[in-house]
Amino acid sequence: MQSAQALIATYFENRPCDVVQDIYRNSGLKCYDYWAGELRHILIDSCLVACDEVPVYYREKYPGAKIWIRDMDMEDKKYIFDCFVLELGMFPGIFPFSLKDFA
C-alpha cells in the first residue's frame, strides 16, 4: 500500500486536483467525468518509466523499462485505485466507481 500511496502522491503533484478539475469544468464536464477520466488515465493509459522516482516495489515486481499499470495484478491496481479515492477524501466503499469499471 505504501508504494501505491507514493505513486498517487506523485500523480497529484504532477496533476494537481484543483487545476485538473478546472480544466474539466471549463470543458463542460462534471465531477464524475473528472473521477472517471483520471482513473482511466491512471489505470489504463499510464505507464511508469523505471527510474529512481518509481517505488522499488514496482521496479522489482514488474521489471522492464516501462511498467504499464493496466498490466499490473489486481491487488496492485486495487491499492492504486483505493489510494486515488482516499486522496480525493472519500472511501472506496462509497465511491460510485469500482475497479471493474476500468478493466
What is the rounded CA–CA span in Å between residue 69 and residue 76? 9
pTM of the model: 0.91
What is the rounded CA–CA span in Å between residue 36 and residue 42? 10
Q: Which three cell numbers stand for residue 93?
A: 466503499
Q: Which among 55, 61, 86 has a CA at the least distance from the CA of 73?
A: 61
| pLDDT at res. 78 | 96
| pLDDT at res. 71 | 96
What is the pLDDT averaged over residues 56-74?
Answer: 94
